[in-house]
Amino acid sequence: QVQLQESGPGLVKPSETLSLSCSVSGGSFGSYYWTWIRQAPGQGLEWIGYVSRSGTTKHNPSLKGRVIISLDLSRNQVSLKLTSVTAADTAVYFCARGDWNYNFFDAWGQGALVTVSS
Amino acid sequence: QSVLTQPTSVSGAPGQRVIISCTGGPSNIGAGQDVHWYHQLPGKAPKLIIYVNSNRPSGVPDRFSGSRSGTSASLAIAGLQADDEGHYYCASFDLSLITSLFGGGTKLTVL
B41 close to A (CB below 8 A): no
Angle at A105 between CA A104 and CA A107, to 5 degrees: 150
CB contact under 8 A, A108 and B52: no
Give A1's pLDDT tier (boundaries 50, 70, 90): confident
* CA atoms A98, A104, A107, A113: torsion sign: positive
CA distance A86 to A88: 5
Cα end-to-end span (Å), chain A: 39
Describe the strand order of the beta sheet including B72-77 as a list of residue ranges: B18-23, B72-77, B64-69
- What's the pLDDT score for residue A28? 76
Measure A32 CA to nearest chain B CA, in Å.
15
With a CB cutoff of 8 Å and minimum separation 6, the contacts of A4 are: A22, A23, A24, A95, A96, A97, A107, A108, A109
* Residue B32 exposed, middle or buried by CB count within 10 Å (0-12, 13-18, 19+): exposed
- What's the pLDDT score for residue A47? 96
pLDDT tens readout for residues B57-68: 999 999 999 999
B51 close to A (CB below 8 A): yes
Q: Which one of A57, A69, A105, A110 makes the best mutation probe of the B interface by having the most chain B beta carbons within 10 Å? A: A105
CB contact under 8 A, B99 and A60: yes
Contacts of B91 in chain A (CB under 8 A): 45, 103-105
- What's the pLDDT score for residue B1? 58
Contacts of B100 in chain A (CB under 8 A): 35, 47, 98, 103
* CA atoms B55, B31, B94, B73: torsion sign: negative
Residue A30 pLDDT exceeds 90: no
Average pLDDT over all residues of chain A: 94
Give A3's pLDDT tier (boundaries 50, 70, 90): very high
Give B2's pLDDT tier (boundaries 50, 70, 90): low
Residues B77-106, mean pLDDT to the nearest whole number? 96
* CA atoms B101, A17, A71, B40: torsion sign: negative
- What's the pLDDT score for residue B47? 98
Residue count of chain B, please give it: 111
Cβ–Cβ under 8 Å, residues B20 and B74:
yes
Closest chain B residue to the Cα of A5, Cα to Cα: B45
Q: Which of B51, B99, B104 sits opposite A104 (nearest CB)?
A: B51
CA distance A51 to A31: 12
Residues A90-98, mean pLDDT to the nearest whole number? 97
pLDDT tens readout for residues B22-68: 999 999 999 999 999 999 999 999 999 999 999 999 999 999 999 99
- What's the pLDDT score for residue B3? 87
Number of Cβ atoms within 10 Å of the Cβ of A42: 5
